[in-house]
Amino acid sequence: MSDSDNREIFCLPKFQYFNSGNDYSGSRGDFAYKIITGEKFTCLVWHGRLCSEKAEIEKSEEFERSENGLAEMKKWLENACLNG
């Protein structure tokens, strides 16, 4: 495995950012995502340049609002980006 295989695709804020009630969105090329903070984390993904309110959401998933949930969400998000 090369060093590039270990590189992170997304650099998300730390748990405290989300635990303060903040949402977060970003993109990588045509792939876009939004993380909504509530009782759980909700992660939405879509393709294109539209905002989440106007885009057709292709996938969504909920995760426990915890450090572990954030780590699981990041893995899911990276997998969704790489595997469509």
Q: For 11-55, write each residue's pLDDT tens digit.
A: 899 999 999 999 999 999 999 999 999 999 999 999 999 999 999
What pLDDT, on the 0 to 100 scale, is given for residue 9? Answer: 82
| Residue 20 identity (one-letter amino acid) | S
What pLDDT, on the 0 to 100 scale, is given for residue 7? Answer: 57
6, pLDDT greater than 70? no
Coil vs helix vs strand at 5: helix
CA 7 from centroid of its chain's CA atoms: 16
Average pLDDT of the residues in 76-83: 92
The model's pTM: 0.87
What pLDDT, on the 0 to 100 scale, is given for residue 10? Answer: 83
How far apart, in whole angstroms, are the C-alpha atoms of residue 44 and residue 3? 29
Burial of 30 (0-12, 13-18, 19+ CB in 10 A): exposed
Report domain extents, the chain.
Answer: 12-83
Query: DSSP strand E in 1-84: where?
Result: 24-28, 31-37, 40-47, 59-64
64, pLDDT greater than 70? yes
